[in-house]
Amino acid sequence: MYNVAVRVTRDLSKAAGSAYPSVVDSHSPAARLCKKKRYLKTKRAYRAAHLEQARLSNRLWARRNRKKKKITSGRWWLRNRARLLKKKRRYNVLHRAERRAYDVRYRAEHPGRYAARRTIQNAVRNKIIAIPRGCQTCGERWKLHAHHPDYRRPLVVVWLCAWCHSEADQRRTA
């Protein structure tokens, strides 16, 4: 079943006039560098060229935002992990009814979306479909999302990284 679903996805993406033309050229070097990676590459190049200015800017930001820096620090989070998790659990207990109401409302407003999401989750859990090793657009190997080009066919998905998935959704709405 897995091979059929993947073949269908690839055949759809390679069809003439496809809504997802970037999937066709997924093996080209330009496609492998998605927008995020190109942005980070230019940011690193700028930082290397203006190293002293960047260091000064970072020091000034750290002085002005000590609390933010402390919270985002990994060591601080590890030291306070138990307290933060307790706070998160308490919040979840207090807002359980609100969350449940939101979930019910979402399912009522988007029944096709919800059904497609559950179908793909069950298929992955039951090993009918396996998650590929990388994004089908850029090749990113971390936290892939199942993008449904058409919710009426829930097993036809394109596996994308978060960045490419948001771009695909923007193309769909535009």
Q: What value does the mean pLDDT take over residues 15-43?
A: 60
Tokens representing 3 are: 């091979």
What pLDDT, in 10s, does the model give residues 63-88?
A: 888 877 776 777 778 888 899 999 99
What pLDDT, in 10s, does the model give residues 32-53?
A: 566 667 778 888 888 888 889 9
Whole-angstrom Cα distance, residue 31 to residue 28? 5
Q: Please state the φ and ψ torsions of residue 109, each to the nearest 5 degrees.
A: -75, -30
Does 153 or 6 have the greater pLDDT score? 153
Instruction: Report the domain count for the chain.
Output: 1
pTM of the model: 0.51
Question: Is residue 22 within 8 Å of 28, Cβ to Cβ?
Answer: no
> At residue 164, does pLDDT exceed 90?
no
Tokens representing 75 are: 């060591």
* Parent domain of 92: 2-173
Does 104 or 59 have the greater pLDDT score? 104
Task: State residue 27's pLDDT score.
Answer: 53
> At residue 110, does pLDDT exceed 80?
yes
Tell me the Ramachandran region of residue 153: left when phi exceeds 0, alpha when psi lies from -120 to 50, beta otherwise: beta
> At residue 5, does pLDDT exceed 70?
no
User: Taking all residues of the chain, what is their mean pLDDT, rounded to a whole number?
Assistant: 80
Whole-angstrom Cα distance, residue 54 to residue 52? 5
Q: What value does the mean pLDDT take over residues 144-158?
A: 91
